[in-house]
Chains A and B, each alone.
Chain A
Amino acid sequence: MCALCGVLGGGGDWTDAAARPGVFTRNVDALQRRRERINRVACAQRVLGFYGLTLSDWQASSFVLSTLTGKSCLVDNLTHLWSAAEKLTGRPCDPLDPQLIDWLEGGRLEAGGD
């Protein structure tokens, strides 16, 4: 971990993909990792908004996932994100849910929190 920026090199999740010969990763240097984390928050937020959740970076080592009422938890990576989101909201986060897909396709008025 970098002592100045607190950026870890990735915890082995496939979306983090620690540097190995031939492995595709955007964790090559601290700047790229920072940029990728910001992008990751933005991408996940596109979907999490449907569930009334927000994601933010925490010290470039974890993410904070929060509900509208402030209930929060830390998640390490994208793979852990969805089980944590399901626990916080008490409902399945299913990418095949037609309502979610409608919402992503533009009809965002019926955003989700039941």
Chain B
Amino acid sequence: MTDFTPVNLITGFLGSGKTTLLQRLLADPALGDTAVLINEFGEVGLDHHLLGRIDETTVLLPSGCLCCTIRGELATAIKDLHSKRERGLVPAFRRLVVESSGLADPFPILSTVQADPVLRHHFRLGTVVTTVDAVNGIGRAESLKQVAVADRLVLTKTDLAPDCDTLMTRLRQLNPDAPLLRAAEQSIAAGDLFDDVTRSALRALPATMDSPHGAVQAFALGFEGALDWTMFGVWLTMLLNRHGERVLRVKGILNVAGSETPVAVHGVQHLVHPPVHMAAWPDEDRRSRLVFIVDGLERAAIERSLRAFLGPPTRMAAVA
């Protein structure tokens, strides 16, 4: 079966330390066979020079913000790398890391990798790593979205802002299940950031939380009994069709009727990753659990709707 190359995205607001983090990570021998795509917002691209590694597997996409102007260019650049790899013109990289510009909305980048008819047969989405500047925090809408979609959060410049408990609390409220690392105090290995999503999702799915953060809120739903996978698909596709822009993140493990082991689902706005059939349950708890990070949607409405779609066999339960 084809070996799919993982594509990891490093995102984070302007000046939040993406390139510095990438520079540190590339020193890790575990990333020795990694290709890098860098996108910058500005007339002159500098980040690839700062990275200190200019070779044929480092590609700069200089024409502005990745999310709004060069989705086609991103697909073309990745396809070009793939083609060169197949022809032996570049080393056979086994991972691709995309560093987005600080202003980029991560969704179109992820969507490009998953939806492109060529790319989706050779690449798969890996983790999204978001850097957050401890000095400047989060504020702008782009920054909130980057935090919401993260699989790993990296707090940078904590040596310059030692008292960042408030910021950490805000991050935990916005994205409760993403592991939070501190770049200044911790040595961060590539595996900490790029190991596949489902492993961390399973470990870290929160027991319970409700965290109003302006219009953006995160909450977890739990329900007992095996659910009908197809009916769940009907519900989620319908929800994302109408409200995808406001579902910043949906993620969870499901007890699916007819399957002994759980299924992990993971979506960002309109995009849902291929569901992962997990090898085993993470613990004794057999309830399905779903985490939502939504902007302006009501928890009660989502919960009631899901219950109505799934019907009587599945009882919603407070997640303890």
Interface, chain A (partner B; CB < 8 A): 12, 14-15, 17-26, 36, 39-40, 43-44, 46-47, 78-79, 81-83, 86, 92-96, 98, 100-101, 104-105
Contacts and interface: CB of A to CB of B under 8 A. Distances in A.
Interface stretch (B82-90, B204-212, B229-237): B229-237
Contacts of A100: 308
B1 A82 contact: no
A86 B234 CA distance: 15
B27 interface: no
Contact of A43 (B234, B275, B298, B305): B234
Contact of A44 (B117, B234, B240): B234
Sort A-B residue pairs by CB-CB distance and give the 9 closest, nearest first: A82-B241, A24-B277, A14-B272, A104-B308, A15-B233, A78-B237, A24-B275, A24-B263, A95-B238
A20 B301 CA distance: 34
B24 interface: no
Nearest to A17: B274
A94 B309 CA distance: 12
17 contacts: A12-B120, A14-B267, A14-B275, A15-B237, A19-B1, A24-B274, A24-B276, A24-B277, A26-B230, A43-B228, A78-B237, A81-B237, A86-B241, A94-B242, A95-B235, A95-B238, A101-B305
B241 A23 contact: no
A84 B267 CA distance: 22
Given A12-B117, A17-B274, A39-B230, 4 more contacts: A19-B1, A95-B309, A96-B298, A96-B305
